[in-house]
């Protein structure tokens, strides 16, 4: 449980501190600036996709093949590819904002800032993934706290002092970049370049499909929802502010299950118990954040109740699926997990085109039930417990 909480602490800090930053920017700059969090929300799935391939995938691959050069090589390669993606997004920021049916003049500067901040956080996450597999979670916590706290202090103080968005953003990005470079120099040691991207992707194929699917879902779904008016934008922005950090923290269940599965040491009952404790804490924090921020944002409560209710329902049920899914993915059949991930994402993508402001939430609810049925009912007899460790029957047939 201690390791799970430490990993989730990283994701808490990586998610919650930027949320605090956007709320404060909304206060000191312009209330509309808070909406940048939701405007750029789909892009986080591109950066987390790169973390899956060049972070988690590379570490699993290195653990199983005993090739230590893979980890540091992939941090550098992932950083380079992320840089190209960020450059492309920044040069096309006007088109992106227009597509999302929002105002270019209001959001352009901080939209670019958000793209670059997510890139720098991506590099930090690549380093943290390495530290997880080295059992150095305390060090990753310290790095995450330091980077995000410095970033918030810089952007808020400069926004108050200068009153010029371009200047405050430029100075903050420069200092943030220096910090990330320092972190890289101190955590990526001398190595020989060695790449094995195919096997990296094999170990996280379900996660790759998940991230690509989530990008399409929110890119299309949010655009459709925003067209229904400001009350839906406000309600979704409020819902993402109070649940996004919690969802990111819940992914610690996946990270821990992946690490244990790569070592074939996954204790299912213990992992399930820890996951449920974590989820309970996340739900409580969601309700507290909602109550605290409601007085400032004052969204339509009936809309928020629907949006947040679906998120909480999903949080309660999905961890048991994740644990079994990751064991199957790492040790037995990536084809099975990727196939089911594909069906789940097809359900959500199709739902994103529904002519209703609730399109993404309908897709989330239906796809979650599909995963529950597949891994907890249809595949139930394929899993068994041996001396406390999760195992699978009929391995050859199941591949």
Shared-domain flag, residues 198 and 267? no
Shared-domain flag, residues 58 and 92? yes
Contact 272, 319 (CB under 8 A): yes
Shared-domain flag, residues 194 and 212? no
Shared-domain flag, residues 353 and 368? yes
Contact 55, 78 (CB under 8 A): yes
Structure tokens at 38: 């939701």
Over range 262-286, report the average pLDDT.
Answer: 84
Which pTM does this prediction carry? 0.72
Shared-domain flag, residues 236 and 193? no
Residue 223: the pLDDT is 77
3 state SS for the chain: CHHHHHHHHHHHHHHHHHHHHHHHHHHHCCHHHHHHHHHCHHHHHHHHHHHHHHHHHHHHHHHHHCCCHHHHHHHHHHHHHHHHHHHHHHHCHHHHHHHCCCCHHHHHHHHHHHHHHHHHHHHHHHHHHHHHHCCCHHHHHHHHHHHHHHHHHHHHHHHHHHCCHHHHHHHHHHHHHHHHHHHHHHHCCCCCCCCCHHHHHHHCHHHHHHHHHHHHHHHHHHHHHHCCCHHHHHHHHHHHHHHHHHHHHHCHHHHHHHHHHHCCCCEHHHHHHHHHHHHHHHHHHHHHHHHHHHHHHCCCHHHHHHHHHHHHHHHHHCHHHHHHHHHHHHHCCHHHHHHHHHHHHHHHHHHHCCCCCCHHHHHHHHHHHHHHHHHHHHCHHHEEEECCEEEECCHHHHC
Domains in the chain, number: 2
Shared-domain flag, residues 27 and 90? yes
Indicate the pLDDT class of residue 51, thresholds 50, 70 and 90.
very high
Answer yes or no: is pLDDT of 318 > 70: yes
Residue 286: the pLDDT is 87
Residue 1: the pLDDT is 54
Shared-domain flag, residues 283 and 168? no
Indicate the pLDDT class of residue 8, thresholds 50, 70 and 90.
low
Indicate the pLDDT class of residue 355, thresholds 50, 70 and 90.
confident
Shared-domain flag, residues 100 and 128? yes
Least confident of 86-100, 167-181, 299-313, 329-343: 329-343
Q: Which of 154, 171, 203 is the last residue of a domain?
A: 203
Domain range for 254 = 208-399
Over range 13-27, report the average pLDDT.
Answer: 76
Shared-domain flag, residues 157 and 192? yes
Q: Which of 203, 226, 249 is the last residue of a domain?
A: 203
Shared-domain flag, residues 96 and 170? yes
Shared-domain flag, residues 287 and 325? yes
Q: Which of 138-142, 145-149, 218-222 has the highest mean pLDDT?
A: 145-149
Q: Which of 153, 178, 203 is the last residue of a domain?
A: 203
Shared-domain flag, residues 73 and 43? yes
């Amino acid at each position: 449980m201690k390791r799970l909480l430490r990993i989730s602490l990283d994701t808490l800090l990586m998610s919650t501190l930027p949320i605090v930053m956007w709320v404060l920017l909304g206060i000191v700059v312009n209330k509309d600036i808070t909406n940048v969090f939701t405007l750029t929300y789909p892009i986080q799935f591109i950066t987390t996709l790169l973390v899956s391939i060049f972070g988690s995938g590379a570490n699993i691959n290195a653990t199983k093949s005993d090739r230590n050069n893979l980890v540091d090589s992939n941090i550098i390669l992932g950083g380079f590819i992320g840089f190209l993606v960020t450059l492309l997004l920044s040069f096309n920021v006007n088109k992106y904002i227009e597509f999302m049916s929002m105002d270019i003049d209001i959001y352009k500067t901080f939209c670019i800032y958000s793209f670059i901040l997510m890139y720098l956080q991506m590099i930090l996450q690549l380093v943290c993934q390495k530290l997880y597999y080295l059992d150095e979670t305390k060090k990753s916590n310290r790095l995450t706290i330091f980077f995000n706290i410095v970033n918030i202090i810089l952007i808020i103080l400069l926004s108050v002092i200068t009153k010029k968005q371009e200047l405050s953003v430029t100075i903050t990005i420069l200092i943030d970049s220096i910090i990330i470079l320092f972190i890289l120099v101190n955590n990526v040691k001398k190595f020989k370049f060695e790449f094995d991207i195919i096997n990296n992707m094999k170990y996280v194929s379900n996660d790759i499909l998940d991230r690509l699917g989530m990008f399409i879902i929110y890119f299309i779904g949010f655009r459709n929802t925003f067209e229904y008016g400001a009350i839906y934008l406000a309600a979704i922005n409020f819902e993402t502010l109070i649940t996004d950090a919690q969802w990111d923290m819940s992914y610690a269940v996946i990270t821990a299950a992946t690490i244990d599965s790569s070592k074939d040491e996954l204790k299912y009952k213990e992992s399930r118990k820890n996951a449920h404790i974590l989820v309970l804490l996340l739900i409580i924090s969601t309700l507290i954040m909602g109550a605290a921020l409601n007085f400032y944002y004052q969204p339509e409560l009936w809309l928020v109740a629907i949006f947040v209710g679906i998120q909480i329902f999903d949080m309660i049920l999905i961890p048991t699926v994740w644990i079994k899914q990751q064991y199957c993915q790492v040790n037995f059949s990536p084809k099975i997990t990727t196939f089911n991930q594909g069906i789940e994402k097809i359900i959500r993508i199709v739902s994103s085109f529904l002519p209703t402001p609730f399109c993404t939430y309908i897709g989330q609810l239906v796809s979650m039930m599909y995963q529950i049925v597949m891994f907890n009912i249809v595949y139930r007899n394929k899993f068994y417990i041996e001396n406390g460790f999760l195992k699978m029957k009929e391995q050859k047939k199941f591949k």
